[in-house]
C-alpha cells in the first residue's frame, strides 16, 4: 500500500482466470472512528462501507478502523485534510480548530432535545455549515450524531452546579466546551478520547462527560462511580471525506457516497435512540450511581456569564436562530 493508503488491485477473478486485460480497478479507502465497532458511530461507518461497496458494485471498498487505532479524532481529521486517510467519522469535538463556523453547535443547552438538534442539522442552518468544510480540504458528507452528553465522575454525586467546583474533568479538545465547563468551576483537562479510559482509571482526572452511547461502548462504568443525567450539551458528529478524493469520483459515485452517508447517519441516530432508552438501566445494573432528578435550572443559570460571552462571540441572532428553530 502506498503512502496515501489507496491501492489499485487487479480484480482477483480476472487474475485467477488469467485474463489479459483487467476490466475493473478496485479502490480501497480508509475510514475510522475513535470508539468501538459495536457503537453508534461504529455502526454508522459499517453501513457507509456496505452501501458504498453495494452502490459501486465492489469497485470501491472502504476499510474501517475502530477504537482510535488510526489516532484520536483530531489526528484523524488532520489525516483526512491532508489526504493520508480518505474518510473519518468524528464528533464535532476538535472541529473548531479546522472549521471555526461549526463552534456554535457546541454551545451547552442550545438544543431542547435530539429532535430539535436533528431538525437544525438537517435544515438550512446545518446544511450551510456542511458547505463551510469545502474550503478547508474536506467534503462533509452528512451530519451524524454522537448524542446528548452527561457527566460522570469518581468523587461525588452531582446534584447542584456547585458540586462540580474543583472537579478535574477530561474534556474534548473543544474551546466552547472548555469555556463552559470552566464556568461551572470544573478544572478542565482537554484530552484525546483514546487516552480517557486510562486517565480515569489512574485518577489523572476525576471525571468526564459523554453520551450514554459512548459511555457504554467505552465501558466507563468500570472506572466511574457517579453519573448525573445533565444533558448539558448535544454532541453532533460528522462523516468527513478528503475533498480531493471526493472530487475525483464520478458524479454517479459521488451520489453513492452522499446517499450512503445519509443511511449511515440514520443508523447512528437509531442506535443513539436505542442506547438512550436502555443506557440508564444497563449502567445501573453494572453498578453506577445515576442521578436523574437534579436542579437543571440551576445548571443553566450558572452559565449566564458564559452565555453572554458566547452571544458576543457568535452573535445573539445566530444563536437565537438555532434556539428558536422549529
CB atoms within 10 A of CB 162: 12
146, three cell numbers = 454522537
Closer of 52 and 217 to ligand EAX (Cβ): 217
Phi, psi of 48 (to 5 degrees): -55, -50
- How does DSSP classify residue 101? G
Nearer to ligand EAX, 56 or 91 (CB): 91
Determine how many CB atoms are found less than 10 A away from the CB of residue 163: 20
Dihedral sign for Cα atoms in the order 157, 161, 167, 168: positive
Q: Give the closest residue to 36 by CA, choosing from 80, 67, 68.
A: 67
Residue 93 interacting with ligand EAX (CB under 6 A): yes
Residues in the chain: 326
The nearest distance, CB 10 to ligand EAX, in angstroms, is 37
Please report whether residue 189 would count as binding ligand EAX according to CB under 6 A: no
Query: Of 218-257, which residues contact ligand EAX (CB under 6 A)?
Result: 235
Least distance to ligand EAX, CB of residue 96, Å: 13
CB of 75 to ligand EAX, least distance (A): 12
Which of the ranges 4-12, 33-41, 279-287, 300-308 carries the binding residues for ligand EAX, by CB under 6 A? 33-41
From 18-26, 34-42, 220-228, 311-319, span contacting ligand EAX (CB under 6 A): 34-42
Asked if 210 touches ligand EAX (CB under 6 A), the answer is: yes
158 touching ligand EAX, by CB under 6 A: no
Smallest distance, Å, CB 192 to ligand EAX? 7
- Under the criterion CB under 6 A, does residue 188 sit at the interface with ligand EAX? no
29 near ligand EAX (CB under 6 A):
no
Phi, psi (5° rounding) for residue 111?
-105, 145
Q: Does 153 bind ligand EAX (CB under 6 A)?
A: no
- 214 interacts with ligand EAX by CB under 6 A: yes
For ligand EAX, the binding residue among 91, 152, 230, 242 (CB under 6 A) is: 91
In 3-state terms, what secondary structure has residue 82? helix
Query: Which residue, 35 or 179, has its beta carbon nearer to ligand EAX?
Result: 35
- The correct pick among 27, 29, 35, 239 for binding ligand EAX (CB under 6 A) is 35
Asked whether the CA dihedral 51, 52, 58, 61 is positive or negative, the reply is negative
User: For ligand EAX, which residue has the nearest CB?
Assistant: 193
Long-range interactions of 173-178: CB distance < 8 A, separation 24+: 173/74, 173/93, 173/94, 173/97, 174/92, 174/93, 174/94, 174/95, 174/96, 174/106, 175/96, 175/103, 176/96, 176/103, 176/106, 176/107, 176/310, 177/93, 177/106, 177/108, 177/233
Identity of the residue, 172 or 267, whose beta carbon is nearer to ligand EAX in the bound complex: 172
Distance CA 74, CA 91 (A): 10
Strand partners, 227: 152, 290
Binding mask 42-81 for ligand EAX (x = CB under 6 A): -------------------------------x--------
**Is there a contact between 65 and 46 (Cβ–Cβ < 8 Å)?**
no
Quickly tell me which residue has 436542579 as its cell: 295
Shortest Cβ distance from residue 189 to ligand EAX (Å)?
A: 12
Residues that bind ligand EAX (CB under 6 A): 34-35, 41, 73, 91, 93, 146, 172, 193, 210, 214, 235
Amino acid at each position: 500500500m502506498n503512502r496515501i493508503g489507496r491501492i489499485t488491485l487487479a480484480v482477483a477473478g480476472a487474475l485467477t482466470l488469467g485474463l489479459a486485460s483487467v476490466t475493473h480497478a478496485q479502490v480501497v479507502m480508509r475510514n475510522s472512528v475513535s470508539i468501538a465497532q459495536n457503537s453508534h458511530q461504529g455502526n454508522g461507518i459499517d453501513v457507509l462501507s456496505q452501501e458504498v461497496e453495494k452502490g459501486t458494485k465492489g469497485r470501491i471498498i472502504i476499510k474501517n478502523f475502530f477504537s482510535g487505532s488510526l489516532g484520536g479524532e483530531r489526528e484523524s481529521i488532520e489525516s483526512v485534510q491532508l489526504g493520508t486517510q480518505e474518510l473519518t467519522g468524528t464528533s464535532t469535538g476538535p472541529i473548531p480548530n479546522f472549521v471555526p463556523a461549526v463552534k456554535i453547535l457546541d454551545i451547552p443547552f442550545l438544543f431542547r432535545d435530539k429532535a430539535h438538534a436533528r431538525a437544525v442539522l438537517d435544515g438550512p442552518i446545518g446544511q450551510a455549515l456542511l458547505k463551510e468544510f469545502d474550503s478547508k480540504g474536506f467534503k462533509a458528507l452528512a451530519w451524524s450524531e454522537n448524542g446528548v452528553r452527561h457527566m460522570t465522575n469518581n468523587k461525588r454525586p452531582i446534584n447542584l452546579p456547585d458540586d462540580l467546583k474543583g472537579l478535574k474533568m477530561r474534556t474534548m479538545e473543544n474551546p466552547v466546551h472548555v469555556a463552559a465547563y470552566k464556568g461551572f468551576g470544573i478544572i478542565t483537562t482537554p484530552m484525546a478520547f483514546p487516552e480517557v479510559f486510562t486517565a480515569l482509571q489512574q485518577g489523572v482526572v476525576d471525571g468526564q462527560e459523554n453520551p450514554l452511547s459512548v459511555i457504554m461502548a467505552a465501558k466507563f462504568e468500570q472506572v466511574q462511580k457517579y453519573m448525573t443525567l445533565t444533558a448539558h450539551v448535544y454532541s453532533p458528529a460528522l462523516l468527513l471525506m478528503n475533498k480531493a478524493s471526493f472530487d475525483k469520483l464520478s458524479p454517479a459515485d459521488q451520489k453513492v457516497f452522499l446517499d450512503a452517508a445519509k443511511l449511515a447517519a440514520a443508523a447512528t441516530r437509531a442506535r443513539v435512540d436505542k442506547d438512550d432508552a436502555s443506557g440508564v438501566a444497563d449502567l445501573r445494573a453494572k453498578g453506577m450511581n445515576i442521578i436523574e432528578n437534579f436542579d437543571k435550572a440551576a445548571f443553566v443559570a450558572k452559565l449566564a456569564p458564559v452565555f453572554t460571552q458566547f452571544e458576543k462571540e457568535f452573535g445573539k441572532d445566530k444563536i437565537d436562530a438555532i434556539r428558536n428553530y422549529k
